[in-house]
């Protein structure tokens, strides 16, 4: 996949010349290893719960390189803007947590350091497609942390109550949704896709792609046949009032789950700790099953999320920053902590063999949920490409899906609209676009 980005890399990175950057970063204010023997301080901004624990482990054993961690909002609700603005102001941290989906945005704005000279030797430590997601051609811009294999989380007690089993196919899923809502008009099997990443994961599972490159041009196929099929499916459930449009994993969603009004969700591995921490009283009442399939007997899964630790432009200590980022993603104690506290599925091949991904979960009724996610990861296509304007795609898609949920539009209409707005946005950045 990375090879297909090579010819676009120059175009995207040329945008960096439009950004005025300071030579200094707020991450190097305590001097470097060659400054009177003082320890280097590397600042790190992230949004995932549990990153601070890995930082604490590092700081205990690496006195010469101190990492200062700050928790910031998730990228789509302000974290990315905060990092981009800090780069422009010349006071960005050395390190930032950036999703694979948005990394190309950061490259296009010239917000990242090329860390190839420090990172390239670690390539073989990671699942190949995650390394490709963090690179453009042979240029490395981040160290992979995790992936987001998807599955179906469901309430075992409520499935038993309504006499339904985990759906094997999407037709089965629709039938289960009908059965639940017919038995209890205030209850729903699940909620609709809420944003570009929800819909993207479902399209990914269906075998579609949103972006690619051919003949030195970006190809944009957000309205692909696979996405259209997914959109029509969910719109059909919405039209029949068989699903709700309640945003997943927010306060209102957790309340409806507590009240027995929502029974399941399709999401990634990282949703597990969010569910257990926000709904402790439901311990033992949850389980995880493979995603429903479009064709019976298949095992296809999608990917929602996954991130890299990037070195932001202006970092005074890129080598030390890269050293920490690589350690955080590969050290067994750090990765074990991230599995337990952050709910990651490791991008490092060694991390996927740790005991922490082979343990039963008391919260999930004694199930080893990582068995499901391992299978999902193994059956997720590695050919997906994220485009260079994902902040725009996310904003536009989220708005369109919100309108569809409120009955002011449809999900297929949102897909068509985002296809058009994305092509326009990319052309507006001077990128060559085809279909």
Buried b (16+ CB within 10 A) or exposed e, 226-261: bbbbbbebbbebbeeebbbbbbbeeeebbebbeeeb
Neighbours of 36 (CB within 10 A): 7
pLDDT the model gives residue 38: 82
- The 3-state DSSP class for residue 266 equals strand
Residue 434's pLDDT is: 82
Tell me the whole-structure pTM to 2 decimals.
Answer: 0.90
Other CB atoms within 10 A of residue 171 CB:
14
Can you tell me the mean pLDDT for 424-435?
A: 91
Those residues whose C-beta lies under 8 Å from the C-beta of residue 408, and which sit 6 or more positions away, are none
User: Contact, 144 vs 135, CB < 8 A?
Assistant: no
* pLDDT tens sequence across 337-389: 999 999 999 999 999 999 999 999 999 999 999 999 999 999 999 999 999 99
Q: Tell me: the pLDDT tens digits for 14-45? A: 333 333 222 233 333 333 444 456 899 999 99
The stretch 64-93 carries a mean pLDDT of 95
SS3 188: strand
Tens-digit pLDDT profile for residues 297-335: 999 999 999 999 999 999 999 999 999 999 999 999 999
Strands (E), 72-191: 95-99, 135-136, 139-140, 142-144, 146-147, 150-155
Point out which residues pair with 312 in neighbouring strands. 112
Across the strands, what pairs with 293? 169
Determine the pLDDT at residue 76: 83
CA distances from 137 to 53, 125, 298, 312 (A): 33, 18, 33, 19
Architecture of domain 150-303+384-434: 3-Layer(aba) Sandwich (3.40)
Please state, for a pLDDT cut of 70, what percent of the chain lies above it.
91
CATH code reported for the domain at 2-148+305-357: 3.40.190.10
CA–CA separation, 249 and 252 (whole Å)? 8
Please check whether the two domains, 2-148+305-357 and 150-303+384-434, share a CATH topology. yes
Q: Is 182 exposed, middle or buried (0-12, 13-18, 19+ CB in 10 A)?
A: exposed
pLDDT of residue 37: 66
Q: Where are the domains of the chain?
A: 2-148+305-357, 150-303+384-434
Nearest residue to 312 (alpha-carbon basis) of 105, 170, 12: 105
Element (H, E) at 235: helix 225-239
């Amino acid at each position: 996949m990375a090879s297909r980005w090579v010819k676009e890399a120059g175009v995207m990175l040329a945008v960096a010349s439009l950004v005025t950057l300071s030579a200094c970063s707020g991450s190097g204010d305590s001097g470097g290893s060659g400054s009177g023997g003082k320890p280097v301080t590397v600042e790190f901004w992230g949004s995932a719960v549990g990153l601070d624990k890995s930082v604490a482990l590092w700081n205990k054993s690496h006195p010469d390189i101190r990492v200062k961690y700050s928790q910031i909002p998730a990228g789509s609700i302000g974290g990315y803007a905060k990092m981009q603005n800090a780069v422009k102001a010349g006071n960005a941290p050395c390190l930032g947590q950036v999703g694979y989906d948005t990394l190309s945005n950061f490259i296009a704005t010239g917000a990242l350091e090329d860390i190839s000279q420090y990172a390239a030797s670690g390539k073989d430590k990671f699942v190949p497609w995650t390394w490709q997601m963090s690179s453009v051609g042979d240029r490395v811009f981040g160290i992979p942390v995790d992936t987001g294999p998807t599955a179906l989380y469901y309430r075992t007690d409520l499935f038993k109550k309504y006499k339904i089993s985990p759906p094997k196919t999407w037709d089965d899923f629709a039938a289960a949704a009908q059965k639940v809502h017919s038995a209890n008009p205030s209850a729903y099997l699940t909620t609709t896709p809420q944003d570009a990443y929800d819909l993207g994961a479902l399209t990914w599972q269906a075998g579609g792609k949103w972006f690619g490159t051919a003949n030195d041009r970006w190809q944009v196929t957000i309205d692909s046949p696979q996405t259209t099929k997914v959109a029509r499916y969910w719109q059909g459930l919405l039209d029949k009032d068989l699903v709700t449009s309640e945003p997943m994993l927010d306060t209102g969603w957790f309340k409806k789950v507590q009240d027995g009004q929502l029974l399941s969700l399709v999401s990634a591995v990282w949703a597990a700790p969010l569910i257990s921490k926000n709904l402790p009283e439901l311990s033992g009442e949850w389980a995880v099953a493979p995603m429903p399939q479009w064709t019976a007997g298949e095992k296809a899964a999608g990917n929602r999320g996954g991130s890299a630790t990037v070195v932001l432009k202006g970092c005074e200590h890129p080598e030390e920053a890269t050293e920490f980022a690589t350690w955080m993603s590969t050290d067994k104690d750090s990765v074990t902590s991230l599995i337990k506290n952050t709910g990651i599925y490791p991008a490092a091949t060694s991390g996927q063999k740790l005991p922490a991904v082979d343990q039963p979960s008391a919260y999930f009724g004694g199930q080893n949920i990582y068995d499901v996610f391992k299978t999902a990861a193994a059956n997720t296509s590695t050919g997906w490409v994220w485009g260079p304007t994902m902040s725009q795609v996310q904003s536009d898609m989220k708005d369109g899906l919100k309108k569809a949920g409120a009955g002011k539009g449809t999900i297929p209409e949102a897909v068509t609209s985002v296809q058009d707005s994305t092509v326009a946005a990319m052309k507006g950045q001077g990128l060559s676009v085809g279909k």
